[in-house]
Amino acid sequence: MHELGLINYVVDEVSKIAEEQNVKKIHSVTLQFGEVSGIVTSYLHDYWKWYTKKFPLFEGAELFTEEIPAVTWCDDCKITYSTVEYGKTCPHCGSGNTWLLRGNEMMIKDVVVEDVTEGSEGKLDAQGEYTPQ
């Protein structure tokens, strides 16, 4: 139920921002998440669909996802390599002295909203800043 928790979080965050900015309608939300975060995209879309039917704010809103490639750092040879390809063992020196640099995170990249006053579209970033476009 990892994905359900995630969608809950996203819907909460976006709702809060929308309320602050007096946004009545969300057009789309783009999420970025790491390659090894274990998130199953199809589940995300299933849960998302349910929310778009339940909340008017999200009615018809699209969910886009982008993957962040996972990168591991080798402490012995001070280089980075692809986590998915080589796992925890450095392909250069065979060391297990390695750390996941990125690839396990999740963030809301952007939120596209309808500007109710202008009837045009704008962007709302996760910090709550609204930029008309």
List residues binding Zn ion (CB under 5 A). 74, 76-77, 90, 92-93, 95
Cβ-closest position to Zn ion = 90
Helices marked H in 21-122 — which ranges? 41-54, 83-86
The smaller minimum CB distance to Zn ion, of residues 58 and 81, is found at 81
Beta carbon of residue 86, minimum distance to Zn ion (angstroms, whole number) = 10
Beta carbon of residue 71, minimum distance to Zn ion (angstroms, whole number) = 13
The smaller minimum CB distance to Zn ion, of residues 53 and 88, is found at 88
Beta carbon of residue 75, minimum distance to Zn ion (angstroms, whole number) = 8
The smaller minimum CB distance to Zn ion, of residues 65 and 80, is found at 80
Pick the closest to residue 26 from 78, 64, 65 (CA basis): 64
Pick the closest to residue 33 from 100, 84, 106 (CA basis): 106
Cβ neighbours of residue 84 under 8 Å, at least 6 residues apart?
35, 36, 69, 70
- Asked if 113 contacts 25 with a C-beta cutoff of 8 angstroms, the reply is yes
Beta carbon of residue 84, minimum distance to Zn ion (angstroms, whole number) = 17
The smaller minimum CB distance to Zn ion, of residues 20 and 76, is found at 76
- Asked if 84 contacts 35 with a C-beta cutoff of 8 angstroms, the reply is yes
